[in-house]
Homo-oligomer: A and B are copies of this chain.
């Protein structure tokens, strides 16, 4: 059996999973997505959850990435420290079974900082493998936890996580701002004003409350609040990210509805942003890792 001839790739996150049947040339022949994320499957449910994937996509070896390799997942795949490339990831696969391998996450550790990622590394290094991201590139990967990633010699050299997406979700679902944040976020004047504030002097926990005060005092419209709040959080995130010494051009990778917001904010900060597709990069990265198993 050669993995790279045909295998199933699974991007298995906390709340969702996406599975692909990958053919010998790294293309997706079939796929599905459902809400059986790591938390829904639970401790003992993985053998059955994997059988279900094979019933749908074929009796093939499985190469998995994401939270499935965390301490809440199936088998813990310890973090590979930076600098980490495809070779380092492939060398440290965790084996859940004879034909079930899990890609490790990546850690960054310095005297003054610590960080972890799990899942994004496959997309990131896949984009390097396909040439979408340069060997010395700088990548912004928004999501629940945005990752700013510095590449050096085609390996992940350093990264910083900013929990922007999660903070926005918490505020929208549970905070005193909740009833103000229901409108869709758009790149409009309110968003741009929020970005400018976030890029400037930092007083985030005060600026967030002011959204409510401005609305109550008739100084801002309710329909602008979500875009302003998102701009404020993303502007703060971009200020943190652009302080990292890295290439001038920022590749923004992820879902288009998020990458467009970050690309706009990076533009307001005076830097060039280029949006790239995260899903294609995942397939490229996981296929490269499968090839390395066969070597």
Residues of A within 8 A of B (CB): 79, 107, 109, 113-116, 145, 160-164, 166-167, 170-171, 173-176, 202-206, 208-210, 212-214, 216-217, 219, 233, 236-237, 240
Contacts and interface: CB of A to CB of B under 8 A. Distances in A.
A213 B116 contact: yes
A176 B205 contact: no
A163 B205 contact: yes
A173 B113 CA distance: 26
Contacts of A107: 213, 216-217
Given A174-B173, A175-B170, A114 B214 contact: yes
B163 A174 contact: no
B116 A216 contact: yes
Question: How many chain copies?
Answer: 2
Contact of A163 (B79, B208, B217): B208
B114 A240 contact: no
Given A170-B174, A174-B173, A162 B209 contact: yes
A84 to B, nearest CB: 14
A72 to B, nearest CB: 10
Nearest to A173: B174
A162 B205 contact: yes
B109 A203 contact: no
Contact of A114 (B113, B204, B210, B233): B210
Contact of A204 (B161, B204, B214): B204
B205 A204 contact: yes
19 contacts: A107-B217, A109-B217, A109-B219, A113-B210, A114-B210, A114-B213, A114-B219, A115-B210, A115-B213, A116-B212, A116-B213, A161-B210, A162-B205, A163-B176, A163-B209, A166-B175, A170-B171, A174-B174, A205-B237
Contacts of A208: 163
A151 B233 CA distance: 32
B206 A161 contact: yes
Q: Which of A163, A176, A208, A233 has the most CB of B within 10 A?
A: A163
Given A116-B213, A203-B240, 5 more contacts: A107-B213, A114-B210, A162-B206, A173-B174, A202-B204
A44 to B, nearest CB: 20
A205 B167 contact: yes
Nearest to A71: B216
A280 B236 CA distance: 40
Contacts of A160: 206
A172 to B, nearest CB: 11
